[in-house]
Amino acid sequence: MAAAHRGCVVAGCVLLLLLVGCNARKHTLTLKNETRTAVDLNNFGFYANGTLDVNLLSLHLPDKSGDHSSPSVGFTLSRSRMNGVFPYTTEEAGTCPLSLKNSTNEEPLIVFVIHIDTLSVSLRAMGNQDNIIIATLKTKVPRKTREAAKNGAEPLENGNGKKNTQDQLKQTKVEEESVDQKRDPAEGKEIPAAEANKLEEKQFDLGKTKNLTLALDKINGSYNFSFHMIVGPRSEGLYNLKFHYCKSGMFAEKLSYSFSVNVTETNPGSYLSAAEIPLSRLYICMAGVFFIAALVWVYTLMKHRYSVFKIHWLMAALAFTKSISLVFHSINYHFINTQGRPIEGWAVMYYITHLLKGALLFITLALIGTGWAFVKYILSDKEKKIFMIVIPLQVLANVAYIIIESTEEGSSEYNLWKEILFLVDLICCGAILFPVVWSIRHLQEASSTDGKAAMNLEKLKLFRHYYVMIVCYIYFTRIIAILLKVTMPFQWQWCYEFLVEVSTLIFFVMTGYKFRPASNNPYLQLPQDEEDVEMDEVVTESGALEGISKVKKTLNGRERQKESTL
């Protein structure tokens, strides 16, 4: 117990360092020496008129000297109405998602292909959509066209079938000379380059315009561009933004690259995804329900104080900790909803209470499962080893969850800690359930020859249906609820959190009801040692004592009750 407490304190201190730089829904991702061919930047559910701002701050590509094959670099933005089922995002064998030319699927896909040779970005819109893109177009005239005009040749035709006149060339020259700064003709003041680019941004309806060529800037060897998207009424859904780096459509060769990108996503009046907008209200309501349940439990303990064990107060502490954790979770989502990022103080409080809640939950389940206080006061050596394994693992699982929450989805550490969380959680669940099943099987084998084993087996059988309840709770929250989340529409995926919280509340209530402190509770009337059983048998076998009741002390010695010997 002391080791687990020290682990919680250390983990809480580590969280203060992990939360520095956490930007929540205003994402800033920086990757260096990355070799992945596809990087998941973010998943976000957009309602109509939601906005997506992507600003590629810097992109450093490897040197292509001696390499004749040009790599395909860019972004894909795909939509799916259900979580985890994204068309075009699963790379087929030998196919780069950036090389898709057209699509017959109605789900929209937007592809941004970066051309470093021409300093341009090709935008291709596929599928039926009414999204609006606001970006800066590529307006510079090719060098061959300028040289032809200088030599007096006929103006060349551009992609629109129009001829480049000398006036257009003069305008292009002015634009090239004003890359770094521009002047306001009214006031004569210099306008920074960033504001000048905003003045050149244009708006395009992707339902009508399927192909665009955007401007790509190069500064000190790094490339950058940006775009702004407004989601149309017919295109709302769950979107997945990915960065791709593939060579000739094949992912066999791993190349190193680095980039930094800012991504900001909003819904009308909120920085939260469509599935997360109701979570703040959901968590605060469930916190109130858990708090009321905790008060009812404390009232029950005070009413039957002479039948209360220490584990009853541990169950009360778990209920209050769960309620406080949900309060901080609601506050955390409230600030993300309004400001786009959490307040670090509130976020740390939520993570600490979440860590304590997770540790208390598995400690309570393990103690009840082993029959501590109800059947026996002392844990065996094997059971102590289980606690030494389960508690640190559960602390690690909660720390992994916290790191995932405070880490950008596109970072390489995100997938690593996600796999660690899944694995450790399964180990913890198995570590609690396996010893119980093993103990019952071992006692069944020994009960035929050993009277003590037979008695212990009867004790454990009374807890068997509680073990089944634990299994159902674990499987529902870990597997079934996740499957329901995948099949739900994007705006209803908050129901997954609702199902998890409701199932946790039901599990807490049923556990408290089964192990409530009451004189008529069969779980609290189990004989504590062989002497009690032998005394009952002796009194029963004596015909002279038939009809006489025996007075026996309860476990804590503070309440006396009569038990009929018949």
CATH class, domain 278-515, is mainly alpha
The residue type at 146: R
What is the pTM assigned to this prediction? 0.75
Count CB neighbours of 240 within 10 A: 20
pLDDT in tens, the chain (566 residues): 444 444 444 444 444 434 433 444 688 899 998 888 889 998 899 999 999 999 999 999 887 644 556 678 999 999 875 555 555 544 444 577 887 665 555 678 899 999 988 899 999 998 888 899 999 888 755 555 444 444 444 444 444 444 444 454 444 444 444 444 444 433 444 444 444 444 467 889 998 888 999 999 998 889 999 999 999 998 888 999 999 988 764 445 567 899 999 999 999 999 999 999 999 999 999 999 999 999 999 999 999 888 888 889 999 999 999 999 999 999 999 999 998 888 888 989 999 999 999 889 888 887 877 667 666 667 677 777 777 888 888 888 888 888 888 888 888 888 888 888 888 888 887 777 766 666 566 656 656 666 665 666 665 666 677 778 888 888 888 788 778 777 888 888 899 899 999 999 999 999 998 888 876 666 665 444 444 444 333 333 334 434 444 444 444 443 433 333 33
pLDDT of res. 19? 41
The residue type at 281: R
pLDDT of res. 160? 44
Residues 50 and 236: beta-carbon distance below 8 Å: yes
Within a 13 Å sphere around the CA of 494, how many CA atoms are in the beta-carbon half? 16
pLDDT of res. 484? 79
Write down how long the chain is: 566
Q: Give how far the C-alpha of residue 113 lies from the chain's centroid of Cα atoms, to the nearest Å.
A: 29
What are the sequence ranges of the domains in the chain?
A: 30-140+201-266, 278-515
Closest CA to 354 of 22, 2, 15: 15
Structure tokens, 100 = 């898709």
Query: What is the spatial distance between Cα 284 and Cα 347, in angstroms, rounded to a whole number?
Result: 15
